[in-house]
Protein backbone atom coordinates (compact mmCIF):
# COMPACT_ATOMS: atom_id res chain seq x y z
CA UNK A 1 0.00 0.00 0.00
CA UNK A 2 2.76 2.50 0.88
CA UNK A 3 4.61 1.75 -2.36
CA UNK A 4 1.44 2.33 -4.41
CA UNK A 5 0.66 5.52 -2.50
CA UNK A 6 4.21 6.82 -2.91
CA UNK A 7 3.88 6.84 -6.70
CA UNK A 8 0.45 8.43 -6.68
CA UNK A 9 1.95 11.70 -7.99
CA UNK A 10 -0.38 12.84 -10.74
CA UNK A 11 -2.77 9.90 -10.33
CA UNK A 12 -6.47 10.49 -10.42
CA UNK A 13 -8.37 11.20 -7.21
CA UNK A 14 -9.97 7.77 -7.42
CA UNK A 15 -6.58 6.14 -6.75
CA UNK A 16 -5.97 8.43 -3.80
CA UNK A 17 -9.47 7.75 -2.51
CA UNK A 18 -8.91 4.01 -2.80
CA UNK A 19 -5.55 4.04 -0.98
CA UNK A 20 -6.27 6.76 1.58
CA UNK A 21 -9.99 6.40 2.27
CA UNK A 22 -10.88 9.93 1.12
CA UNK A 23 -14.62 10.65 1.08
CA UNK A 24 -15.02 12.43 -2.27
CA UNK A 25 -18.81 12.69 -1.91
CA UNK A 26 -18.33 15.65 0.45
CA UNK A 27 -16.75 17.68 -2.37
CA UNK A 28 -19.74 17.80 -4.67
CA UNK A 29 -21.13 21.30 -5.01
CA UNK A 30 -19.77 24.84 -4.81
CA UNK A 31 -16.95 25.84 -2.53
CA UNK A 32 -13.49 27.27 -2.48
CA UNK A 33 -11.11 24.40 -3.31
CA UNK A 34 -8.50 25.83 -0.91
CA UNK A 35 -11.08 25.68 1.91
CA UNK A 36 -11.94 22.10 0.98
CA UNK A 37 -8.25 21.12 0.86
CA UNK A 38 -7.68 22.72 4.26
CA UNK A 39 -10.65 20.82 5.70
CA UNK A 40 -9.37 17.52 4.33
CA UNK A 41 -5.79 17.91 5.57
CA UNK A 42 -7.14 19.06 8.94
CA UNK A 43 -9.32 15.96 9.08
CA UNK A 44 -6.21 13.88 8.41
CA UNK A 45 -4.46 15.36 11.47
CA UNK A 46 -1.93 17.79 9.94
CA UNK A 47 -3.24 20.88 11.83
CA UNK A 48 -2.51 23.33 9.00
CA UNK A 49 -2.00 27.07 9.28
CA UNK A 50 -2.97 28.78 6.04
CA UNK A 51 -1.48 31.87 4.40
CA UNK A 52 -2.33 33.29 0.99
CA UNK A 53 -0.36 35.58 -1.26
CA UNK A 54 -1.88 36.23 -4.65
CA UNK A 55 -2.76 32.90 -6.25
CA UNK A 56 -0.45 30.95 -3.92
CA UNK A 57 -1.81 29.24 -0.83
CA UNK A 58 0.67 27.87 1.69
CA UNK A 59 -0.20 25.48 4.46
CA UNK A 60 2.25 25.18 7.35
CA UNK A 61 1.61 21.66 8.60
CA UNK A 62 1.98 21.93 12.37
CA UNK A 63 1.73 18.18 12.94
CA UNK A 64 2.83 15.05 11.09
CA UNK A 65 0.27 12.32 11.79
CA UNK A 66 2.95 9.71 10.96
CA UNK A 67 5.89 11.34 12.75
CA UNK A 68 7.20 8.14 14.34
CA UNK A 69 7.28 6.30 11.00
CA UNK A 70 8.55 9.39 9.16
CA UNK A 71 11.58 9.56 11.45
CA UNK A 72 12.59 6.08 10.31
CA UNK A 73 11.57 6.43 6.64
CA UNK A 74 11.00 10.10 5.74
CA UNK A 75 11.29 9.60 1.96
CA UNK A 76 8.37 7.19 1.79
CA UNK A 77 6.11 9.11 4.17
CA UNK A 78 6.86 12.48 2.57
CA UNK A 79 6.21 11.07 -0.92
CA UNK A 80 2.96 9.63 0.40
CA UNK A 81 1.92 13.06 1.71
CA UNK A 82 2.94 14.80 -1.51
CA UNK A 83 1.01 12.23 -3.56
CA UNK A 84 -2.04 12.70 -1.36
CA UNK A 85 -1.84 16.49 -1.83
CA UNK A 86 -1.45 16.14 -5.61
CA UNK A 87 -4.39 13.76 -5.82
CA UNK A 88 -6.57 16.00 -3.66
CA UNK A 89 -5.78 19.17 -5.63
CA UNK A 90 -6.35 17.38 -8.93
CA UNK A 91 -9.63 15.92 -7.71
CA UNK A 92 -10.86 19.20 -6.26
CA UNK A 93 -9.92 21.18 -9.35
CA UNK A 94 -8.91 24.81 -9.30
CA UNK A 95 -5.64 24.10 -7.45
CA UNK A 96 -2.21 22.90 -8.54
CA UNK A 97 0.28 21.43 -6.08
CA UNK A 98 3.58 23.28 -6.42
CA UNK A 99 5.72 21.66 -3.72
CA UNK A 100 6.02 20.13 -0.31
CA UNK A 101 8.93 21.60 1.67
CA UNK A 102 9.96 18.94 4.15
CA UNK A 103 11.01 19.59 7.74
CA UNK A 104 12.05 17.10 10.46
CA UNK A 105 8.98 14.99 11.29
CA UNK A 106 9.10 15.35 15.07
CA UNK A 107 9.32 19.12 14.83
CA UNK A 108 6.69 19.29 12.08
CA UNK A 109 6.40 22.50 10.08
CA UNK A 110 6.44 21.04 6.57
CA UNK A 111 5.00 23.48 4.05
CA UNK A 112 2.55 22.52 1.35
CA UNK A 113 2.33 25.14 -1.38
CA UNK A 114 -0.49 25.12 -3.91
CA UNK A 115 -1.47 27.61 -6.56
CA UNK A 116 -4.94 28.59 -7.66
CA UNK A 117 -5.34 27.66 -11.31
CA UNK A 118 -6.03 30.46 -13.76
CA UNK A 119 -9.70 30.77 -14.64
CA UNK A 120 -10.68 29.17 -17.91
CA UNK A 121 -11.44 31.83 -20.55
CA UNK A 122 -15.12 32.01 -21.44
CA UNK A 123 -16.06 31.69 -25.06
CA UNK A 124 -19.19 33.56 -26.01
CA UNK A 125 -21.23 32.82 -29.09
Distance between alpha carbon 21 and the CA centroid of its chain, in Å? Answer: 14
86 located within any domain: yes
Structural domains in the chain (count): 1
Residues (pLDDT < 70) of the chain are: 1-30, 120-125
61 located within any domain: yes
23 located within any domain: no
CB-based contact 109:33 (threshold 8 Å): no
Q: What is the pTM of this model?
A: 0.73
Q: What angle, rounded to 10 degrees, do the helices at 74-92 and 13-20 form?
A: 130
25 located within any domain: no
Predicted pLDDT of residue 14 = 45
The whole domain housing 39 covers 2-16+32-116
Predicted pLDDT of residue 21 = 54
Predicted pLDDT of residue 108 = 86
93 located within any domain: yes
CB-based contact 107:99 (threshold 8 Å): no
102 located within any domain: yes
Query: What is the widest separation between alpha-carbon atoms in the chain?
Result: 58
Predicted pLDDT of residue 23 = 53
Beta-strand relationship, 110-116 and 56-61 = antiparallel
CB-based contact 12:20 (threshold 8 Å): no
Beta-strand relationship, 95-101 and 48-53 = unpaired
Amino acid sequence: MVAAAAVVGAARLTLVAATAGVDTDRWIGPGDPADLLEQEISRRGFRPDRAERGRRVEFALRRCPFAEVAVADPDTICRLHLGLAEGLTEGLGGLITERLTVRPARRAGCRLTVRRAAAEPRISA
